[in-house]
Chains A and B, each alone.
Chain A
């Protein structure tokens, strides 16, 4: 397959997906989206991307399966233990100063990070004065997040992560084992609102003290990353905090000068005051 032809086919496929179903992957990081599309193509038994486009336009179920593959980001509980250690040490004291705390977890996928943060806030005695808005573009993964039922297989790893992240209790306090699943304890859901929000097109919906968007913008291109950083900047209160993934930064973007690093190594930034 000629490279240039394939590039055109991918452009057209993404355009079709947007025009027909309203999901816009046109400004996603190209190398990853290309890999995922080619992976789907080989699974589908179709012979090229143009054929996939035809199928996608005609068959909504096919599109739904494809959407799941294109938008799911792999996530885990307490990924990057050092982030949570820093969060307890430096971010919690900052949050404590507010009588009511609004946190936005943008791109929460299946919710593992939402519950990780809920656990930390509960242990620090802040959860009751907090509201977490957990959003994602994909309704199906939001449903999984809302249910909070995870594979028991992963719990051993999460338990280790939790301990390294400065956890104060037995991790088993936070779930009930049911057959081969771990069901998140209902108290961790009490101050969480799960909602559909599309970072590509949707606007600000509240003023936040902290926004966590970790390893989401790695899937966006520069244009989209700039757009999202603008949205976050608008959504944060003065001196509000922005948490990114450990290998992301506001560097290499148009918003580099709008944030100061609070904890440089953990990519926790503070919005500049006025």
Chain B
């Protein structure tokens, strides 16, 4: 395990979660200050039909704005971006978003692996990747990719996760930097400010 890194210059935070993710996201995002100096990009698995409801709820609980990603939108700091349901989210080298409706990956669209892998290619070591609660294996390969590119990797402590399959799968696949409860993940992010 690497040393606990603080005040390192990151460019973006990516978070992946599935079952139980809503409460975990509320916990973490509501702790972030309005001047949070990074973009946060989230894949939360949900039903194909769900509309922008999740963004509305999270927007109400957070001081920083939360919105769904639009195709070709430039990435901006201090904004929380949510992957829209039924689209994969990728990042281009020019730091604009690109959506795709390619085949499902790990039986899901959006897939955490796709976001994490493309973000790792763009930001390399200047990226923090976080895997939270979930009942499947999506995100493990992406987190591994972030680690290989020198980024900072965090997995929610499986003992504290509502569903531990996803954290356990990530821990098995990637040699992660930190295993933390939700409060400590919030602290970690706030310490970067």
Using a CB–CB distance below 8 Å, which chain A residues touch chain B? 3, 29-32, 35-36, 73-75, 79, 81-82, 164, 215, 217-219, 221-222, 225, 245-249, 251-253
Instruction: Assess the B69–A29 pair: CB atoms within 8 A.
Output: no
| Bound CA span A215–B72, Å | 12
Identity of the chain B residue whose Cβ is nearest the Cβ of A160 in the assembled complex: B49
Answer whether A247 and B118 are a contact pair too, CB < 8 Å, given A30-B93, A31-B90. Answer: no
Question: B29 on the interface (CB 8 Å rule)?
Answer: no
Residues in A whose Cβ lies below 8 Å from that of B51: 82
Q: What are 11 contact pairs spanning A and B, CB under 8 A? A: A29-B98, A30-B92, A31-B93, A35-B90, A73-B102, A75-B101, A218-B72, A222-B72, A247-B70, A251-B70, A253-B72
| Bound CA span A221–B71, Å | 10
Instruction: Assess the A31–B72 pair: CB atoms within 8 A.
Output: no
Across the interface, B101 reaches (CB within 8 A) one of A82, A218, A249, namely: A218
Instruction: Assess the B71–A32 pair: CB atoms within 8 A.
Output: no
Instruction: Assess the A247–B100 pair: CB atoms within 8 A.
Output: no
Question: B84 on the interface (CB 8 Å rule)?
Answer: yes
Instruction: Assess the A32–B70 pair: CB atoms within 8 A.
Output: no
Residues in B whose Cβ lies below 8 Å from that of A82: 51
Instruction: Assess the B70–A218 pair: CB atoms within 8 A.
Output: no
Instruction: Assess the B72–A225 pair: CB atoms within 8 A.
Output: yes
Residues in B whose Cβ lies below 8 Å from that of A79: 86
Instruction: Assess the A247–B71 pair: CB atoms within 8 A.
Output: yes
| Bound CA span A111–B69, Å | 27
Identity of the chain B residue whose Cβ is nearest the Cβ of A75 in the assembled complex: B101
Interface residues of B in 54-79 (CB under 8 A from A): 68-74
Instruction: Assess the A218–B71 pair: CB atoms within 8 A.
Output: yes
Question: B103 on the interface (CB 8 Å rule)?
Answer: yes
| Bound CA span A225–B86, Å | 22
Question: B31 on the interface (CB 8 Å rule)?
Answer: no
Question: B121 on the interface (CB 8 Å rule)?
Answer: yes
| Bound CA span A222–B121, Å | 20
A-B contact sample (4 more), CB < 8 A, given A29-B98, A29-B100, A252-B72: A29-B90, A31-B90, A35-B102, A35-B114
- Distance in Å: Cβ of A242 to nearest Cβ of chain B: 15
Main secondary structure of the interface of B (DSSP, over half): loop
Instruction: Assess the B70–A248 pair: CB atoms within 8 A.
Output: yes
Residues in A whose Cβ lies below 8 Å from that of B98: 29-32, 218
Question: B123 on the interface (CB 8 Å rule)?
Answer: no
Answer whether A74 and B87 are a contact pair too, CB < 8 Å, given A30-B93, A31-B98. Answer: no
Residues in B whose Cβ lies below 8 Å from that of A218: 71-72, 98-101
Instruction: Assess the B69–A247 pair: CB atoms within 8 A.
Output: yes
| Bound CA span A53–B51, Å | 42
| Bound CA span A218–B102, Å | 11
Choose among B93, B96, B100, B114 the residue with the greatest number of A CB atoms under 10 Å from its CB.
Answer: B100
- Distance in Å: Cβ of A26 to nearest Cβ of chain B: 15
Instruction: Assess the B101–A73 pair: CB atoms within 8 A.
Output: yes
Across the interface, A219 reaches (CB within 8 A) one of B49, B73, B100, B121, namely: B100
Residues in B whose Cβ lies below 8 Å from that of A35: 90, 102, 114, 117-118
Question: B168 on the interface (CB 8 Å rule)?
Answer: no
Question: B91 on the interface (CB 8 Å rule)?
Answer: yes
Instruction: Assess the B74–A247 pair: CB atoms within 8 A.
Output: no
Instruction: Assess the A32–B72 pair: CB atoms within 8 A.
Output: no
- Distance in Å: Cβ of A17 to nearest Cβ of chain B: 19
Residues in B whose Cβ lies below 8 Å from that of A249: 70-71
| Bound CA span A81–B86, Å | 13
Identity of the chain A residue whose Cβ is nearest the Cβ of B93 in the assembled complex: A30
- Distance in Å: Cβ of B73 to nearest Cβ of chain A: 6
Instruction: Assess the B101–A32 pair: CB atoms within 8 A.
Output: no
| Bound CA span A223–B179, Å | 43
| Bound CA span A36–B117, Å | 13
| Bound CA span A144–B98, Å | 27
Instruction: Assess the A32–B121 pair: CB atoms within 8 A.
Output: no
| Bound CA span A152–B93, Å | 40
Residues in A whose Cβ lies below 8 Å from that of B102: 32, 35-36, 73-74
- Distance in Å: Cβ of A199 to nearest Cβ of chain B: 16
Residues in B whose Cβ lies below 8 Å from that of A32: 90, 98, 100, 102
| Bound CA span A140–B32, Å | 50
